Structure 1
Amino acid sequence: MTGTPIRLVIVDDHPVVRDGLRGMFTGDPDFAVVGEAGGGAEAVTVVEAVRPDVVLMDLRMPGMDGVAAIGEFNRRGLPARVLVLTTYDTDSDVLPAIQAGATGYLLKDTPRDDLVRAVRSAARGESVLSPSVAGRLMGRLRAPAQEPLSPRELEVLTLIARGRSNREAAADLFISEATVKTHLLHAYGKLGVNDRAAAVAVAFQRGLLTPD
């Protein structure tokens, strides 16, 4: 790279981590570490003061955490790209960070060369995700939304699970057999199945039905 170096702020509550990252980037003329912070609130102050291109952001920190800091950047109109660098890749960490506006999400065991490339990509506004995080997000996107069953659909399915026929379920609930069929079809759609046996099996699997 030639021209103006990418200006970085490093945010982590562990000084040894900040020292390591600073040493990694300070030795490369394509980068300039222009600030550091040990927590989210300090990060907001530093980023507002120095206006970096990219923020390397830890997530779990005392006081204001990384997700809250990212949200505060957005509220204040700070244009820095945030590249999360953390130890954790659970849904409860990944999804809030991405939703808050993080440009990328990497784990701290990312090789040096990959991290350097990721910072360059983040500076260009490109999304960068570690493989485990990308897989987790894709799994979430592919998973069908689990729309809850209505109380009546659950009643019908409970009777079917007990071996009742449509006619018997209709008599038990004082509704027509056609209405029972309609409730079952709606339940099939919500459970992602095509028949009674599969509907009962999935309902038990999700904890919607429990063995008597």
Structure 2
Amino acid sequence: MEAPPIRIVLVDDHALCRNGLTDLIAHRSPMRVVASTGDPDHALALLREHRPDLVILDLRMPATDGLSLLRRFRAEGIDTPAVILTMSDAEADLAAALRAGVRGYLLKDMDPEEVLGAIARAARGELAVAPAMTLKLAQMLQSPATGAPATDKAGLIASLTERERQILEHVSRGESNKAIARALDISHDTVKLHVRHILAKLNLSSRVEAAVFAVEHRAAGDAAGRSETR
């Protein structure tokens, strides 16, 4: 049986952008926009009414910003995965969005097919970042780690089982639960359970944070290894 289409709610204060993206999705993908609005207050009601698979948020809106709106959704118990679609290519905005737990950070000047592909990946549970932002993401991950010291990170990693460490490595590559299940020959539900355990043990709130944690831990380990050989 054919899978149901990915259902999207779009929040952007520019009607031209809302209408253009709605038409693009409708005519060039199996996905569909079930509702859209330029009013952040209305967005909450739309998410409750439609329960979409994904919400796409503009980063800058007159009444609020997309990340503040996302935090409001979470405070209201709405856990719909979110993608930021913006004109901002600032590293600080990308970092703030990833810390907020978004599934994607896309730019409005991307090629339409790239936008559609990225939205579909985000809906499948993968991390989708605009190609123009990937270098900034890499630089951000390679910068000195913040938060827990490397020794604390090592201790937290050590608390994971071997299977959980395997799954964390796959998560750090941006793979979806289904892709991880195929790679490890285990069920999708088993992967979901392991991811929940990983987040609890590492005291993290999203798989994006887990991916950043894993990359930082790996980078810290590489740096320690280099210093020991000198």
Which runs of structure 2 are paired with 1:90-169 in the superposition (5 Å)?
A: 90-144=90-144
Q: d(CA) in 2 for partners of 1:2 and 1:56?
A: 24
Query: Aligned Cα RMSD in Å?
Result: 2.0
Question: CA contact under 8 A between 2:29 and 2:116: conserved in structure 1?
Answer: no
Q: d(CA) in 1 for partners of 2:143 and 2:96?
A: 18
- 1:10 aligned partner: 10
- 1:46 aligned partner: 46
Question: CA contact under 8 A between 1:39 and 1:65: conserved in structure 2?
Answer: no
Scaled by the length of structure 2, what TM-score is found?
0.59
Provide the aligned length of Structure 1 versus Structure 2: 146
- 1:64 aligned partner: 64
* Structure 1 residue 131 displacement after superposition: 2.4
Q: d(CA) in 2 for partners of 1:29 and 1:93?
A: 28
Gaps of 5+ in 2: 147-230
Report SS of the residue matched to 1:27: helix
Q: As a proportion of its length, which structure holds more helix? A: 2
* Structure 1 residue 102 displacement after superposition: 0.9
- 1:78 aligned partner: 78
Question: CA contact under 8 A between 1:53 and 1:79: conserved in structure 2?
Answer: no
Scaled by the length of structure 1, what TM-score is found?
0.63
Question: CA contact under 8 A between 1:2 and 1:30: conserved in structure 2?
Answer: no
- Structure with the greater alpha carbon radius of gyration: 1
Alpha-carbon displacement from aligned partner over 1:84-117 (angstroms, at most 9, x marks no partner):
1110011332122211121000101111111111
Q: Structure 1 residue runs of 4+, over 3 Å off? A: none
Q: d(CA) in 1 for partners of 2:15 and 2:34?
A: 16
* Structure 1 residue 28 displacement after superposition: 4.4
The 3 A distance-change label for structure 1 pair 39 and 134 is farther
* Structure 1 residue 121 displacement after superposition: 0.7
Q: Which amino acid aligns with 2:6?
A: I
Q: Which amino acid aligns with 1:104?
A: G
Question: CA contact under 8 A between 1:84 and 1:104: conserved in structure 2?
Answer: yes
